[in-house]
Structure 1
Amino acid sequence: MKLLNIDQIAAMNIHYLYYSFEYFLNTQERLGVKTIELWTGSPHFFLDSMTYSDCKRIRHLIEERGMQVKIITPENCIYQYQFASQEADIYEKSFQYFSNALKAGAELGCETMAVNSGWGYWHEDRKEALKRSANMLARLSDVAQQEGLNLAMESLRPQESQLVTTLTDAKKMYDEINHKNFKIMIDTTAMGVAGETIDQWFDVFGDEIVHMHFIDGNPYGHLIWGDGNHNLEAWLKTLAEKGYKGYLGQEITDFEYYNDPASHDVRNMMAYQKFFD
C-alpha cells in the first residue's frame, strides 16, 4: 500500500556520532535515501557563533551520492546555545549561532531549519523565559526570511523544557510570532508524551506543519520503527488523509543505536518499505 514517497524520509546523522560523515552518507545511499536532515554537530559539521563548516564541501559530499539536504537542525541540547538562554551574553551568542545555522542552511540548499522554544531556569518566572524565547524566534524568523528558509518549531518533553511542551503551548507561541517564515513541526515523541495525536495537531495547524520528527516511542525514546509501540501504518494513513507532503525526519537518539547505527537504519527502512509500493 503506497502511503508515502521515499523522498519524504529524511535521514539524520545524529546517531552516527562515532562514525564519519561519509560513512553515514554511504549507508543512506545504499538504503536508497534521497533526503537528508543535517544535524550540525561535531565531528560531522562545525557550527558556532562565529563560523561554520565549508558548506560547498558538505553539499558536494551529499549531492554526489544523489541526495539533497532539505532540513538543517543545529545542535541545541548538548551545546551551550539554546533559544531562551538565561544569560544576556550567551543569549546573543545563541542568536549568532542560530543565524549562522540559517546562513549555512541557505548555502546547503535547505528549505527548513528545525527549532524549539528552548528552556528557562526551573526556578525563574516562566513568563520571563517565554519572552526570551519568543524574542529569539521572532528575530530568527526575520533572518530566515532573508536567507530564504522557514523555521519549523517542535514541542519538547516536560523533562527538557517548561516552555513549549504541548499543542496548546505551540499554538500560543505560533500566534505570538505571527511571521510567514515561522512554521510548525511535529515531534512524535513529545506529542506522545503529552498524550496528543497527529489529528489534533493537524486540526490546529493544517498546512502550517511543514516537517516532522517521525519516530517510534513508548512514548518516550526516539526509537527505530518497530522498537516502540506506535502504529506506523495508522499514522502514515493519517498523514495521507491530511495531504501531508512534507518530510519525516528520522531523529534516532537512543544511545543503544550508536554502536552500530547502520544496522538499525536498515531495520528502520525495512519497516517503511511496504508503504513505498
Structure 2
Amino acid sequence: MSESKPTLHREQIAGMNIHYIMWSFDYFLDVQQRLGFESIELWCAEPHVTLDHTGYFEAEVLAKKAADRGLRYRTLCPENVVYPWQYCARKPLHEQRSLAYFKHGIELAEVLGCDRMSINSGWGDWDEDREEAWKRSREHLSILAEYAGEHGLVLTMESLRPEESNLVTTVSDAKRMIDEVASPYLQPMVDTTAMGVAGETLEDWFAAFGDGAIHEMHFIDGDPYGHLVWGDGKHDMDAFVATLNAHGFDGMLGQEITDGRYYDDPAAADAKNMAAFEKYLID
C-alpha cells in the first residue's frame, strides 16, 4: 500500500507582511487575498502597524482592512530584533519600556482576534554571565505569559540563531525555558531556519515536546540560513509536511520571509511560495 499524500489546510498557511516593508499595508493585503491566503501573521512595525511602549493604535482600521478582504489575523508578531525592544532587556528603563511594548502587543492581538503572539527569549549582553541573562529572560517571559493568559492569548516562543541570541537557540534551550516558566500560556514554536542552523529536525522538536504541544511554526525554506521562499533553499518540503501529518500538527505555518532579495517584488515571492503549497491543500 502506498503512503498517503502529505496534506495541509489552506487556513494553516499564514501570510506575513515582514518583506513588504517598502510597500503599503493595503497592497500586502490585496496580494494575500488575490493569492488565496486566508490567514495572516501580523508583523507589527511601521509603516504597517503603529505599536510602541505607549500603546497600540488604529486597531479598528487594521481589523476592517482584513475583514473587508475575507482575511483573518491569527497571530501577532511584534518586531523585536531590529527595533529597540527585546524580551531580555537589562537596563531598567529599557526593561520597563520593553515589557510595556509587549503587553500592548498582547492587547492588540486580543482586539484583533488573534489566538497567539509569537515571541522569543531575547538575548543577554554578550559580556554578562549567561545564567544571569537567562534568569532575567525567564522572569520577563513569566510576566508576559501571565498577562497573555489574562487576555485570552497564548505566547509561542521560537528559538533564534546564535548570531541573534545567547539564550534560546536550540530545542534543548527552548525546552528548558518553557519548563522553567511552567505556564500554560507559553508554548513552543518552531522556526525552521533556526532549527536548520542548529542542525535539528522537526522530529527533534516533536520528540522534545510531544505531539499536540506545538501549535505554530515559522515554516520557511532555508540553506539553512535565509528565511526563504519554498523552492529557494534546500529543505525537503514533502518530508517536512509529511512529518507534520505524522505528528497530527494542525497549527499555523507563518511565512516569515525576511531575505532582502524579496523586498523589490514581495508579491512575486508570495506567489511562488503559495504555488509550492497548493499541491498539499485539501480545502
For this structure pair, what is the TM-score category when the shorter chain's length is used for normalisation? over 0.9
1:169-248, aligned counterparts within 5 Å?
169-206=173-210, 207-248=212-253
| Residue identity opposite 1:253 in structure 2 | T
| Structure-2-length-normalised TM-score | 0.97
1:55-134, aligned counterparts within 5 Å?
55-134=59-138
Asked if the contact 2:6/2:242 (under 8 Å) is kept, the reply is no
1:255-270, aligned counterparts within 5 Å?
255-270=260-275
Question: For the residues of structure 2 that align with 1:220 and 1:89, how far apart are their CA atoms?
Answer: 33
1:250 to 248, 255, 276: 255
Secondary structure, counterpart of 1:176 in structure 2: helix
Question: Number of paired residues?
Answer: 277
Q: 2:12 matched to 1:8?
A: yes
| Residue identity opposite 1:214 in structure 2 | F
Secondary structure, counterpart of 1:38 in structure 2: strand
Question: For the residues of structure 2 that align with 1:120 and 1:47, how far apart are their CA atoms?
Answer: 24
Post-superposition shift, 1:2? 5.3
| Residue identity opposite 1:149 in structure 2 | L
Asked if the contact 2:38/2:71 (under 8 Å) is kept, the reply is yes
- More displaced 10-residue stretch of structure 1: 27-36 or 1-10: 1-10
1:115-154, aligned counterparts within 5 Å?
115-154=119-158
Question: For the residues of structure 2 that align with 1:180 and 1:266, how far apart are their CA atoms?
Answer: 36
Post-superposition shift, 1:58? 0.3
Q: Please, which runs of 5 or more residues in structure 2 have no aligned partner? A: none
Provide the aligned C-alpha RMSD in A. 0.8
Secondary structure, counterpart of 2:56 in structure 1: coil
Secondary structure, counterpart of 1:203 in structure 2: helix
Question: For the residues of structure 2 that align with 1:3 and 1:35, how far apart are their CA atoms?
Answer: 17
| Structure-1-length-normalised TM-score | 0.99
Asked if the contact 2:42/2:76 (under 8 Å) is kept, the reply is yes
Q: 2:280 matched to 1:275?
A: yes
Post-superposition shift, 1:54? 1.4
* Percent identity for Structure 1 against Structure 2: 48
| Residue identity opposite 1:41 in structure 2 | A
Secondary structure, counterpart of 2:52 in structure 1: coil
Secondary structure, counterpart of 1:221 in structure 2: coil
- Residue in 2 that maps onto 1:42: 46
| Residue identity opposite 1:73 in structure 2 | C
Q: Please, which runs of 5 or more residues in structure 1 have no aligned partner? A: none
Secondary structure, counterpart of 1:85 in structure 2: coil
| Residue identity opposite 2:226 in structure 1 | G
Moved over 3 A (4+): none
- Residue in 2 that maps onto 1:54: 58
| Residue identity opposite 1:44 in structure 2 | H
Asked if the contact 2:117/2:153 (under 8 Å) is kept, the reply is yes
| Residue identity opposite 1:58 in structure 2 | L
